[in-house]
Structure 1
């Protein structure tokens, strides 16, 4: 006998998997409380379940989405990373002597960027929820470029510090925006490879930064080379912001270049995520839940541990390589293989994750921490005159990037509710900011060129991150067992929430992962 599905009019009061109301497809159109609700309802009516989706049409749509979204995000991430490493290349082109930097002032310039990010990360995420995300991202990228060009005019430590703080504030939205856009158009199974696709441009940025740095080093103009570094990279960023404004989509319902039928399929596909999209009203209950959820703080710890290596390497890699006996221009060029290897690590991580059995993201992430741990140990223990061996060990440390990228998909895949997603993704990068602020201070000037304390901090953070992946694995499996018990209790009362009607009713209702009985964590 078919059970009666109660009406879902309000978000459920109960937490941890109890839902009071679920409704049939026919009335969902009246209940979806978000932008373009009618089109979301039409998509669910036309594609009531995953079996009604033609697999060939879905594959064709995914290829089209990949062509339209991933290059835009990837090139943006290229500029994003080059932007952050301009100070590193400015260091080998004489910024420290020109601005009379002394003591820890260079480290403070590295960290100042992240103070702006730290302060503005959460407010910026909440603002993005209220705005068209592509337009908001484009505006922020324009400001990156403008402020980067302004840094070329800095005359002293104080002026450059202020500009770097402001730059950090405008860059705070980048990673959360990329993660949000990825979760809007791709299913949870597809997200690791798509995040890897745009994050791999991080490595291209390292390699490209080396080429740009080498090219700028050849300029013999009226200005010092490091000033041209800021001007050229800043100008490229402002240009790319205009490209994003014109081409990056704000919503699946208005994505130009796709037919209405393709947009309906685009929406129906992400029903299986059960995380909700396009809810512009901030729900303060979800904000509170985010801060009280222990998983949020595990993500903060993850961001912090991942940033300790990144914060040091992004600002000191050129100085570490230069300390191995290479001149300025060869140091810039040696950043290229470092970037290429990072692209290879990230691509390899995506491939391994794709062909592993389901729910092995944490296992794959832990696996790719092993080369970076070995590289850190090798760099510390190798004889000081083993220049080539230490350089190879230094390059090995880039494997942590593959682990970090795959783990970012745990954030997008395991957080439901728009406001909660904004807070949790912001908090990941909040933790990352703290790590990036702290990391440069492990690289003591008196320890140059070996920077043993800095490489040691990388090693300790990587070991802790390796262990954290197993904590994530246990936590998500435990949460899934609780969810299944809650669904079983509902079945005993005659309410089946994970039927076709129930899944459709909760897919776009802006429920958090705790509120949604149909939410299943991936690990």
Structure 2
């Protein structure tokens, strides 16, 4: 049967796909083509002799450290502006009015615009190499920020940073889904997402440290940008050389290990690599209700990132602390982010109910926003607790990453959905900084109340997504049972490698 007929036969997802489909190299995932071409190759061990636990450790060693470093540096190179603000950047560059807010929003506007082609690019190129190149370039831009002398120069640097960092979440999401089963992936997402908390802690220490280093020619914040930029560029070289693009293209696995690595993720039914761009997948993405749920669940919580990325140190300083002490008092925010990331992954893994874990952590963050909004300004301990609890919201993004990579199939749809979620995060961060208007300083009560509302709304929407996934799974289970009883149930050969979407594949079941 030709490619068009085999895929259209699976079209609506209202019934299980009919008859056996052999497919062609055009319709099949590159992973299954690789398996078939190397089925009889000689290697040092048979597939049954491969220690899968050892193989998983080997995969982790080559992916997780680089992913953790990339995400740490991505956030650190954003949050450095937060720390630079209390180190004298605003005064040195003559920032007035909404200048600082505009710089924060411009980074994410550029990020959002860059995400539009990213979904197409990451499907066509080697994601590891693409990410490494972008990390090197944004490291150079970070270092060059030390040379800016006015608002326009800072704006240009942050726009370039936003463009170059756009590759990070889609590439890491795609690479993680290539190598890990769905149950394994949530832990890997959690680990590399700890980079956010690590960046908060490192940023606080770095800010405090550079405030102790007086220099006649360079301000402390300028030295900080140079050092961070050089470290980032070095990490980019590491990623360019070492981050794997797919199981078929690495030199550190034997042929047998490659085949096992491919076969172990076949049950995901989301494939590994396919470079053919399909417009119908993009059209389906736009009409898919789950993507509207996931987008809203990303935009609303990410508005709180305005507090974490740009204003946490400023808010703490407004409680009456010095600039140096404000930097140190921001460190517990990072610890909370790390703790939230690991505990949320644990509860999501154990309960197999990621969407409800999302709702619980959103509600905890809402408590933090409530404390920030309504406590007396004299209750500095309570206000600090509020800021720390808001960091519980950070885990919602990686939980969305897992929900997206687990539940979206079809390569074009998958790549585009990764970029969409990253873009939705940018939208929230565009809006977030604008909530903190200078006229509302120093308490910024209206902004805090908006954050409280968005966090509670995100919790409600995540419960709605859980209900939607449950309904879809029950509908497909009922259809399968009916067809089994009537004798109409037929198996489609290699369906997990046919590059069909979760909607087209009625054997697909959603994870929530």
Shorter-chain TM-score bucket reads over 0.9
Tell me whether 1:167 sits opposite 2:156 in the alignment.
no
Tell me whether 1:15 sits opposite 2:12 in the alignment.
yes
Q: Give the alignment of 1:464-479 within 5 angstroms.
A: 464-479=457-472
Tell me whether 1:290 sits opposite 2:291 in the alignment.
no
Tell me whether 1:420 sits opposite 2:413 in the alignment.
yes
Residues 17-76 of structure 1, C-alpha deviation per residue, up to 9 Å, x if partnerless? 44655537xx57867634354323478999xxxxx9979933332222222211110011
Shift of 1:93: 1.2
C-alpha contact (below 8 Å) 1:116/1:166 kept by paired residues? yes
Higher mean alpha-carbon deviation, 347-356 vs 109-118, is at 347-356
Taking the aligned partners of 1:355 and 1:420, their CA distance within structure 2 comes to 29
Taking the aligned partners of 2:241 and 2:15, their CA distance within structure 1 comes to 43
Tell me whether 1:370 sits opposite 2:389 in the alignment.
no
C-alpha contact (below 8 Å) 2:134/2:165 kept by paired residues? yes
Higher mean alpha-carbon deviation, 379-388 vs 74-83, is at 379-388
Taking the aligned partners of 1:275 and 1:300, their CA distance within structure 2 comes to 20
Tell me whether 1:145 sits opposite 2:151 in the alignment.
no
Specify the SS of the correspondent of 2:228: helix
Tell me whether 1:519 sits opposite 2:505 in the alignment.
no
What is the aligned counterpart of 1:105 among 99, 115, 121? 99
- TM-score with structure 2 length normalisation? 0.93
Taking the aligned partners of 2:158 and 2:165, their CA distance within structure 1 comes to 10
Taking the aligned partners of 1:178 and 1:243, their CA distance within structure 2 comes to 15
Shift of 1:342: 1.0
C-alpha contact (below 8 Å) 1:44/1:268 kept by paired residues? no
Taking the aligned partners of 2:376 and 2:28, their CA distance within structure 1 comes to 64
- TM-score with structure 1 length normalisation? 0.91
Which ranges of structure 1 fall in alignment gaps of 5 or more residues? 1-5, 47-51
Shift of 1:312: 2.9
Residues 179-226 of structure 1, C-alpha deviation per residue, up to 9 Å, x if partnerless? 111110111122211111110111001101111112222222211122
1:129–1:54 CA distance, 2 compared to 1 (3 A):
same
Taking the aligned partners of 2:362 and 2:298, their CA distance within structure 1 comes to 15
Q: Give the alignment of 1:34-45 within 5 angstroms.
A: 34-35=29-30, 37-41=32-36
C-alpha contact (below 8 Å) 1:12/1:18 kept by paired residues? no
C-alpha contact (below 8 Å) 1:300/1:429 kept by paired residues? no
1:521–1:313 CA distance, 2 compared to 1 (3 A):
same
Q: Tell me which residue corresponds to 1:118.
A: 112
1:268–1:93 CA distance, 2 compared to 1 (3 A):
same
Q: Tell me which residue corresponds to 1:304.
A: 299
Taking the aligned partners of 1:438 and 1:110, their CA distance within structure 2 comes to 10
Residues 215-249 of structure 1, C-alpha deviation per residue, up to 9 Å, x if partnerless? 22222221112222221111111110000011110
1:194–1:36 CA distance, 2 compared to 1 (3 A):
closer
Shift of 1:509: 1.0
Q: Give the alignment of 1:345-494 within 5 angstroms.
A: 345-356=340-351, 358=352, 360-488=353-481, 490-491=483-484, 494=487
Q: Tell me which residue corresponds to 2:200.
A: 206
Residues 70-92 of structure 1, C-alpha deviation per residue, up to 9 Å, x if partnerless? 11100111101101111111111
Q: Over aligned residue pairs, what C-alpha RMSD do you find?
A: 2.4
Q: Tell me which residue corresponds to 2:329.
A: 334
Taking the aligned partners of 1:403 and 1:55, their CA distance within structure 2 comes to 39
Shift of 1:159: 2.1
What is the aligned counterpart of 2:496 among 507, 514, 517? 507
Which ranges of structure 2 fall in alignment gaps of 5 or more residues? none
Q: Tell me which residue corresponds to 1:3.
A: none
C-alpha contact (below 8 Å) 2:109/2:426 kept by paired residues? yes
Higher mean alpha-carbon deviation, 484-493 vs 322-331, is at 484-493
C-alpha contact (below 8 Å) 1:312/1:436 kept by paired residues? no
Taking the aligned partners of 1:173 and 1:352, their CA distance within structure 2 comes to 29
What is the aligned counterpart of 2:250 among 255, 263, 267? 255
1:36–1:394 CA distance, 2 compared to 1 (3 A):
closer
Residues 446-468 of structure 1, C-alpha deviation per residue, up to 9 Å, x if partnerless? 33332212222221111011101
Taking the aligned partners of 2:49 and 2:185, their CA distance within structure 1 comes to 18
Taking the aligned partners of 1:441 and 1:455, their CA distance within structure 2 comes to 12
Taking the aligned partners of 1:491 and 1:419, their CA distance within structure 2 comes to 32
Taking the aligned partners of 2:36 and 2:186, their CA distance within structure 1 comes to 28
Shift of 1:334: 1.7
C-alpha contact (below 8 Å) 1:29/1:37 kept by paired residues? no
Q: Tell me which residue corresponds to 1:186.
A: 180
C-alpha contact (below 8 Å) 1:312/1:454 kept by paired residues? no
